[in-house]
A and B are shown apart, each in its own frame.
Chain A
């Protein structure tokens, strides 16, 4: 045999001992010094933790996502929730942040009917046909008029297991804008317990009206 069982045992013992080594709690002198390159990037000094992490100023953080080409006013009582690839502006409201509102742009956004029925399904409502579209009220929104949607029901968000009873959804949709041959749709959507959402109707309208194009950063 090329490797004796004793040697195997010793190696295994060493491995076990290494794994059992206690976590360090010691002091260590720094010994390596690196001369900086003459072209080393500039350092942003004096930033608070939140700005060091996000790369955004406190003002930009308060306003939500800053690298999008839109600006808006945040209604009183709404809290900014960090946005994501889908949600350009994202807010919560209510005592336990049960209410949500977000503004999004969807490339290849689909038609108005498709989106209306998707939302109706989320509220546990039956789909409707084109005739229902004509009855949706119009509201001034972004580049023209959007369609206002108001739904009551049991809300089941994407990926949720159970529906939340007694919810209300407000929405404003501007579908079918042309962007270099691609259709894009813009949405504002608010959900939450019915009474809470109804109390925020003015804020919803104010927020929708405040969304505007801002100068793109060069």
Chain B
């Protein structure tokens, strides 16, 4: 049957399951990997990753010409389909060649693991000083607004969370959104949301003082001596600190507060506080936070430097797990030796503060000493991840290896059999 005479569905099926599509997809993956990697220099890690690796389509400039390209997400979905149809469903199945079937099954499994990891992974960071305990992690790049009611001791049971996806529309100039909830005795409007108010040194240059009003013609309204002036976003997305204006009103329309929310340090929250109907409420613009089902206490952080430098050679953390307020098991977390518990993996990611100051003492001419600085306490930074597919790529690799071993063993035995037969025939002839 000629190609033209085949029904359309069969032609589509043949294309989707064929080598042609596989070659095209793998070639596009190669190009996208190159473009995405190079774009990280200009755009930063997170933006480049979103544009090239997490998208269905993207528009890229090849020279002056804008070109629409498929994103890695779409290409991966098509590759999965292509492998499933071509290497599993359409492939000739025979006990003579199970190895290839198993190996392709392993590749499909790894692609599926990538899909699960992309959609269902929770990840964040935890920073601890020695003897500190924590059971919350925070996201390095996403921000949220948390609204909480406090008891008489200032404690919070729960927080209402406005996630980054609901804040994203506010990034646009002129955007404003009012948030409400049945348990809140007020509602509040967020507007003039600036994604970054810091300069490259981390200084809050986007919050000018009212006395400098004349220098900042583009500043928003001044409230309590400060205004918001959006600053250029950093390529290192985690360095950006947002700010926004907020107006809090009672349901009757009475204005309760008009202020500025500034992205806060997740370890020392300093939220906007409200007293409404005898209750204390707080509204905090914070890095998105997640609660863990267990706590961690840092016993000791160890950092060893390269000789004669302040560059870390290796660093590690000794921690306790804390369950219901009680310290339980002890773990040693170091590079490539994470702690795994309850589906969570805690990696030794970093330490700080960067450029930590050592203890400084001035020696006076009379021999006495003046302490200038105690030096900075070091903290450990743990990357915490809950990825349901955490170990799947490893298992997928085992499956692929198993399939390849079977395949090559069969090839080897077939070769040996043929060689044996050839020798036997030769001997018979002689």
Contact = CB atoms under 8 A, between A and B. Distances in A.
A29 B162 CA distance: 9
Interface in A37-67: 37-53, 55
Contacts of B374: 216-218
Given A34-B291, A39-B134, A179-B363, A213 B370 contact: yes
A130 B251 CA distance: 75
Nearest to B359: A180
Interface string A3-21: 1000010011001000000
A213 B180 CA distance: 51
Interface string A158-186: 00000000000000000001111000100
Contacts of A53: 204, 207, 226, 260, 262
B135 A40 contact: yes
A45 B180 contact: no
A105 B265 CA distance: 28
B363 A50 contact: no
A45 B150 contact: yes
Given A37-B295, A42-B154, A179 B362 contact: yes
Interface in B183-220: 184, 187, 203-204, 207, 209, 211
Contact of B282 (A37, A45, A49): A45
Given A34-B146, A34-B291, A84-B203, A143 B161 contact: no
A42 B133 CA distance: 12
B373 A2 contact: no
A47 B148 CA distance: 16
Nearest to B325: A38
A30 B180 contact: yes
A34 B178 contact: no
Contacts of B148: 36, 43
Interface string B114-141: 0000000000000000000111100000
Contacts of A180: 358, 360-361, 363
Interface residues of B, number: 81
Contacts of A28: 162, 166, 177-180
B428 interface: no
A8 B67 CA distance: 9
Contacts of A49: 223-226, 259-260
Contacts of B260: 49, 53
Contact of B262 (A2, A27, A44, A52): A52
A179 B360 contact: yes
Contacts of B209: 82
Contacts of B224: 48-50
Contacts of B163: 32
B322 interface: yes
Given A45-B271, A45-B280, A30 B161 contact: yes
A90 to B, nearest CB: 13
A218 B187 CA distance: 41
B250 to A, nearest CB: 15
Contact of B147 (A11, A30, A39): A30
Contact of B268 (A26, A32, A39, A44): A44
Nearest to A53: B262
Contacts of B204: 53
A33 interface: yes
B364 interface: yes
Interface stretch (B31-39, B168-176, B305-313, B404-412): B168-176
B280 to A, nearest CB: 6
Contact of A25 (B133, B177, B371): B177
Contacts of B173: 23
B363 A178 contact: yes
Given A23-B172, A49-B223, A49-B224, A35 B178 contact: no
Given A37-B292, A43-B284, A52-B264, 11 more contacts: A25-B176, A30-B162, A36-B159, A39-B322, A45-B273, A48-B224, A50-B225, A53-B260, A55-B265, A177-B363, A216-B372
5 smallest CB-CB distances across A and B, nearest first, come from A37-B135, A23-B175, A23-B174, A32-B161, A37-B291
5 contacts: A23-B173, A34-B289, A38-B135, A48-B224, A53-B207
